[in-house]
Chain A
Amino acid sequence: MELDVSFWLTQFLNGLANAMVLFLIASGLTILLGVLGVLNLAHGSFYMLGAFLIFSSSIIKNPSWFWVGLLLAPLVVAGFGTIIEAFCLRPLYGRERLYTLLLTYGFTLILDDLVLLIWGRDYKSVPIPALFEGRLTIGDFSYPVYFLFIIAVGPLLGVFLWFILNRTNFGKLIRAAATDSEMLDALGVNVNRVFTGVFALGAWLASLGGILAAPMRSVEPGMGVEIIIESFIVVIIGGMGSYLGAFVGAVLIGMLKAFGIEILENFAMIFIYALVLPILILRPRGLFGETTI
């Protein structure tokens, strides 16, 4: 039997590319959970905002549209996240978790509508940036260059995140706040600023995910909801608060989806739940729970 190597390789790379986008969303989500204990349902909306902002940027007929958008849009979204955190979420810390859950859910609805209002309902597609157009061909095998770019960016951002968390003062404060924010406060650190910083970092990462995903997916309101569910599964698999876990979890989910679809079209989610269940039973805190950050 001739095994179709290039087909499986393509599926593998597709899975990786999707995993890297998922990682960008899940890493912010998991750090937020670890530090603030807040499950931010609006995190998917930051992803959506990133995608729509890069769409707007693509309308500008200038070859540098992608790079300008890639640089500016995450900053805009991070700024927006800062405002949400400081003015809406902050008063709810120390209250029941349900309040923050409801609030961030409210934001997903508001932002979906806002996006509808600004960008309209019609289907949007974002072109692949000129630099990454075309396919890489090696013998029989050919694969879109843009997807390879995404696969390369994921680990780079993973290293960047590792550096921030482990080699900067901000990272030290994030890790300290994740273990004992009250003690950090008593040592003279304005913990609210740390929280805001973490939230902004998460929004920055999520919108970056949206930007990178935009050329390979359809850009539409509601796209945040789908990604937030998958990201949350990634966080559960990897362990809350662990960005390394988010990376591994994202790769697992990416692969399961890529190959699951081939085996059982339309039922790839079954494989995901089949993976989550035993992990939760054997390691209720996830694969990397309680080890990193």
Chain B
Amino acid sequence: MILSVEKINTFYGDSHILFDVDLTIAEGEVVSLLGRNGAGKTTTLRSIMGLTPPRAGRVRWLDEEVQRLKPHEIARKGVGFVPEDRRIFSRLSVEENLEIGAFKLEGPSAWTLERIYGLFPKLEQLKAHKGNELSGGEQQMLAIARALMGAPRLVLLDEPSEGLAPAIVKDVGEMIGTLRDEGIAVLLVEQNTRFACRLSDRVYIIDNGRVRFGGTVAELEADEELKSRYLAV
């Protein structure tokens, strides 16, 4: 496993949000985490990333426990983070946003600006534009590309399809396909079940801070009751 989350319990102040959450991701695997609004999906990603460290439980990166590490240390292990609201640096240009993504790397990287621009020509056209001049879809593309610039082995993607037009959602799906082809593992948080299932090897369902299901896409598809109980289908 590249990442295993073992019985983590996470709090915001006094409110207990995650209860013994377990999940694993193998090298190169695309895993989805589904659940309704407020189920605890973002909190799970924040816990992994060290942004809201779990009070109990373990997060293991390969064979190492990382739940006590700072976000930048976890990122440097090889975790890319694409947050819910994209969080593009609004006053930096597109190119500067990409450069910031590569800042943590010490040596040369397989992910150069040229390679990113080759994959996403749109970003090259926009490279001199400021972050706050981009559309939602462009921001999403930049957020994923920025994570790629850090040469990640795992990318945490928080609702990349949210608020995007169907045609753009398709583009985002293709980007996730690119990550998979590059052998990068993905933990995909989604409310768009169909979109997530099409891209994933395995699926987890979280509800009220507890993991209710973990299995293959086929198993989930077969279980109508599960879907109607925990997912807004």
Contacts and interface: CB of A to CB of B under 8 A. Distances in A.
A190 B50 CA distance: 13
A172 B99 contact: yes
Contact of A179 (B51, B81, B89): B89
B206 interface: no
A187 B90 contact: no
A133 interface: no
Interface string A177-214: 01110111111111100000000000000000000000
B89 A190 contact: no
Nearest to A290: B91
B96 to A, nearest CB: 5
Nearest to B45: A186
A176 interface: yes
A173 B72 CA distance: 14
B210 interface: no
Contacts of A293: 91
A293 B92 CA distance: 9
A257 interface: no
B30 interface: no
B100 A180 contact: no
Interface string B38-61: 000000000001010000000000
Interface residues of A, number: 19
Contacts of A180: 87, 89
Nearest to B103: A189
A169 to B, nearest CB: 7
B103 A188 contact: yes
Q: How large is the interface on B (under 10, 10 to 19, 20 to 34, 35 or more residues)?
A: 20 to 34
A169 B91 CA distance: 15
Interface in B63-85: 70-72, 75-76, 81, 83
Contact of B92 (A172, A186, A190): A172
A178 B131 CA distance: 14
Contacts of B100: 172-173, 176, 184, 187, 189
A187 B99 CA distance: 11
Given A179-B89, A183-B83, A293-B91, A189 B104 contact: yes
A185 B70 contact: yes
A180 B86 CA distance: 11
A189 B87 contact: no
B101 interface: yes
Residue in A178, A183, A188 whose Cβ sees the most chain B Cβ within 10 Å: A188
A182 B91 CA distance: 16
A34 to B, nearest CB: 10
B71 A186 contact: yes
Nearest to B99: A172
Interface string A264-293: 000000000000000000000000000001
Given A176-B92, A183-B87, A186-B83, 19 more contacts: A169-B99, A173-B100, A173-B103, A176-B96, A178-B91, A179-B92, A180-B89, A184-B100, A186-B49, A186-B51, A187-B72, A187-B81, A187-B100, A188-B72, A188-B75, A188-B150, A189-B100, A189-B103, A191-B72
7 contacts: A180-B87, A183-B83, A183-B89, A187-B100, A187-B147, A188-B76, A189-B104
Q: Which 5 A-B pairs have the closest CB atoms?
A: A188-B104, A188-B75, A185-B71, A183-B87, A186-B81
Interface of B: 49, 51, 70-72, 75-76, 81, 83, 87, 89-92, 96, 99-101, 103-104, 146-147, 150
Interface of A: 169, 172-173, 175-176, 178-180, 182-191, 293
